């Protein structure tokens, strides 16, 4: 039980740290203090609250092919940014990406709402992959 809890803490720490590194439009308002509060809250919410929500909303989740989880993550990040004032979502510009052998991705300006959506998508995908590998 302790090993699983420690893995859960390390996975959530790494997910949120990766999220802060990869999305330039996310900023912590109070530095490392708010980082650890966010990670602790994510652990509690994903350990206790999200299984309850998923139990009650499983038919809707099946009908939407899992997009309900994305909306839950958007709501969670919105809650942390507007109620607790721990996160700040800002506009940012994706400069584009060119890889040899692939068509180029054009640049795009992301609004704060789009930053919130991209962050929730990355959060959900990282959680899915890391929980599949380590838990």
Each residue of 68-110: pLDDT tens digit?
A: 878 888 988 898 888 888 899 999 999 999 999 899 999 999 9
* Cα–Cα distance for residue pair 135/122, rounded to 1 Å: 19
For the entire predicted model, the pTM comes to 0.85
Position 42 pLDDT exceeds 90: no
Let me know: does 87 contact 38? Beta carbons within 8 Å: yes
- Residue 87 falls in which region: left (phi positive, over 0), alpha (psi -120 to 50) or beta: beta
């Amino acid at each position: 039980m302790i090993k699983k809890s420690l893995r859960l803490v390390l996975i959530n720490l790494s997910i949120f740290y990766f999220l802060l590194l990869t999305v330039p439009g996310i900023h912590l308002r109070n530095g490392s203090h708010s980082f650890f509060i966010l990670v602790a809250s994510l652990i509690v919410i994903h350990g206790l609250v999200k299984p309850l929500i998923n139990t009650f909303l499983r038919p809707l989740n099946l009908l939407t092919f899992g997009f309900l989880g994305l909306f839950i993550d958007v709501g969670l990040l919105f809650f942390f940014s507007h109620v607790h004032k721990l996160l700040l979502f800002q506009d940012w510009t994706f400069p584009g990406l060119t890889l040899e052998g692939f068509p180029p991705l054009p640049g795009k300006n992301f609004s704060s709402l789009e930053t919130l959506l991209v962050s929730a998508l990355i959060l959900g995908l990282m959680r899915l992959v890391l929980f599949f590998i380590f838990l």
